[in-house]
Amino acid sequence: MKKVFISYKHDDDRYVNDVRSIRSNSNHPLSFNDRSLEEAILNEYGDINRRSPADAASLPVQDKIQLLLQDSDKLVVLIGDNTHSSLWVQWEMDTFRKFRGERNILMMRLPYSNGGVPSGYNSHDIRSWSLQYLSDWINT
């Protein structure tokens, strides 16, 4: 069974359910590492850690996400209007690339979006929104 990690800016989470719908086909052998962390990582004050990946305080969050990325065969990046500015999407892409390379990363532009890609991925193809293409790509 293939495992897919979905990286996206949380402003665009309404499209994640569309991606998950691929799984409703009983002949489709895949699962998603598509959830936020099951339990939030809290700081020393008991608040949710919302630090950037560059902040040492975010290491517990990185550790948990890195395990999900290592366990994934493919990475789907949903490109919305502000994805290019998400430090966490950038970090997830960079981290996944170390494990599986760029050919296992698909960037898919959300409908009605004109947003750009995270730094370092400008030469990577961005596909138009197509659940059929996504399903075919996952199976390759």
Torsional sign, CA 140, 84, 70, 6: negative
- What CATH class is the domain 2-37+51-138? alpha beta
0.75 surpassed by pTM: yes
Which pLDDT belongs to residue 45? 62
Give the contacts of 12 (CB within 8 A, at least 6 positions apart). 78, 80, 83, 110
Q: Tell me which residues of the chain have a pLDDT lower than 70.
A: 22-50
Convert the pLDDT of each residue in 67-76 to its tens digit.
999 999 999 9
- Encode 108-127 in three state secondary structure: EECCCCCCCCCCCCCCCCEE
pLDDT tens track for 38-67: 455 555 566 555 677 888 888 888 999 999
| Predicted pLDDT at 139 | 82
Instruction: Look up residue 73 and give its amino acid.
Output: D
Give pLDDT, residue 50: 65
pLDDT reported for residue 58: 84
Domain ranges of the chain: 2-37+51-138
pLDDT value, residue 70: 94
The pLDDT of residue 52 is 79
